């Protein structure tokens, strides 16, 4: 829901309506963790490799939808390291007749104390520039190219523990506006 506390009772949206999505990590008894969304892809069926498919978060946390479609999609400011929210405008695939959308994302949890960098960020495109959900906006500078860090150095001591998981949600039903 818009309050980011309660869960929406329905999976139905109208075209263009903002869908609130929150990723979180449980904090148990270890070092504080930061959750990141490395990538997300939408498909019309529950198969991440299906065609058509729309990759809307890529490049270690660059939310491309607003740049590609001039939508209002964006990451919310990350005020708690263990939670990261984003909004994406509801859409339908032009191919086929389905009103269903499935989303699969790769989430990563890393030490909350690790600084944002090219591979640990959440960036949105707004006002003709990239902005970061946490950290300084300069970590988003690679979003229009490639954000892979140069290899050849040991990142394990810099980033510490990292956990990765693929998560899915859907079906999301996207309806045409009748007005």
Domains in the chain: boundaries: 12-146+155-175
DSSP state at residue 48:
T
Which residue do the tokens 């005020």 mark?
A: 79
Q: Name the 3-class secondary structure at 111.
A: strand
* 19/24 Cα distance (integer angstroms): 16
pLDDT at position 80: 93
Which residue do the tokens 């999976």 mark?
A: 11
**CA 23 from centroid of its chain's CA atoms:** 8
Select from 133, 171, 138 the least CA-distant residue to 37: 133
- The token pair that represents 104 in the structure block: 């699969």
* 111/35 Cα distance (integer angstroms): 9
- The token pair that represents 81 in the structure block: 């390291």
pLDDT at position 21: 96
By the 8 A CB rule, do 104 and 168 touch?
yes
Residues in Cβ contact with 131 at an 8 Å cutoff, skipping those fewer than 6 apart: 123, 124, 125, 137, 140
- For 17, 116, 173, the CA distances from 12, given in Å and listed in that order, are 10, 35, 5
Specify the pTM.
0.90
Widest pairwise Cα distance in the chain: 57
CATH 2.60.40.4100 at 12-146+155-175, yes or no: yes
pLDDT at position 156: 45
- The token pair that represents 85 in the structure block: 């929210």
Q: Could you tell me the mean pLDDT of each successive run of 10 residues in the chain, 179 residues long? A: 86 94 86 94 94 95 95 94 96 84 95 92 95 93 86 47 86 85
């Amino acid at each position: 829901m818009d309050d980011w506390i309660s869960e929406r009772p329905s999976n139905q949206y109208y075209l263009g309506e903002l869908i609130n999505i929150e990723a979180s990590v449980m904090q148990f008894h270890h070092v504080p963790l930061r959750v990141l969304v490395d990538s997300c892809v939408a498909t019309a069926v529950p198969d991440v490799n299906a065609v058509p498919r729309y990759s809307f978060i890529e490049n270690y946390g660059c939310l491309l939808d607003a740049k590609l479609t001039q939508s209002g999609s964006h990451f919310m400011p990350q005020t708690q390291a263990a939670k990261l929210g984003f909004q994406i405008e509801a859409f339908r695939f032009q191919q086929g007749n389905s009103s269903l959308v499935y989303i699969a994302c790769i989430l990563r949890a890393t030490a909350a104390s690790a600084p944002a960098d090219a591979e640990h960020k959440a960036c949105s495109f707004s006002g003709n520039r990239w902005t970061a959900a946490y950290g300084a906006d300069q970590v988003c500078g690679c979003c229009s190219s490639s954000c892979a860090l140069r290899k050849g150095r040991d990142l394990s001591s810099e980033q510490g523990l990292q956990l990765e998981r693929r998560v899915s949600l859907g079906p999301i039903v996207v309806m045409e506006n009748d007005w």
